[in-house]
Amino acid sequence: MRNILAASVALFSLTLLGPVACGGTVAEPSQVLSEQTQALNAVGSGCSSDAQCSTGLCWTVADSYPLYNPYWISADSCTEECGGPDDNASCQQLAADFNAPYPESARCIPARGVYDNYPYDDIFYVCDLLPAGLGKVHWVE
């Protein structure tokens, strides 16, 4: 009876510790994406700084005067740069990639001081995804 119990315990130990007991190694669990990467906002979602966006670019509508009136409207949207006013196709493709309801309405517009880590007032061209149905608009009083 003792031999049966000893054999059962030995077999059970080898089953649980198999690779380690035989000189192998236990596989490390796969590395999970960092919290920072998982927390980044996708294109078309709201933001208040570049660091919150997966593209690294947070655009506010107030920066795009005179296309939007900065005294009446403000918005926030993670977006990407584009080549200039004639580069609407790349913005429309970006909107389609993110399942915008109206991708054909996306456009490339000039915006001032888009990067929050760029200290100068300069013009950049960005994809305006608000008409395509991505991003948020907040009316201000």
Per-residue pLDDT at 30: 47
pLDDT tens per residue across span 46-84 = 888 888 998 888 888 888 877 887 777 777 889 999 999
- Give the per-residue pLDDT at 103: 97
Q: What is the pLDDT of residue 141?
A: 43
The CA distance from 79 to 47, in Å, is: 10
70/54 Cα distance (integer angstroms): 25
Largest CA distance in the chain: 91
Phi–psi pair at 76, nearest 5 degrees = -140, 140
**Residue-wise pLDDT tens digits, 24-37:** 555 554 444 444 45
pLDDT in tens, 88-125: 999 999 999 999 999 999 999 998 777 777 767 778 89
Please check the confidence at residue 138 and state whether its pLDDT lies above 70: no
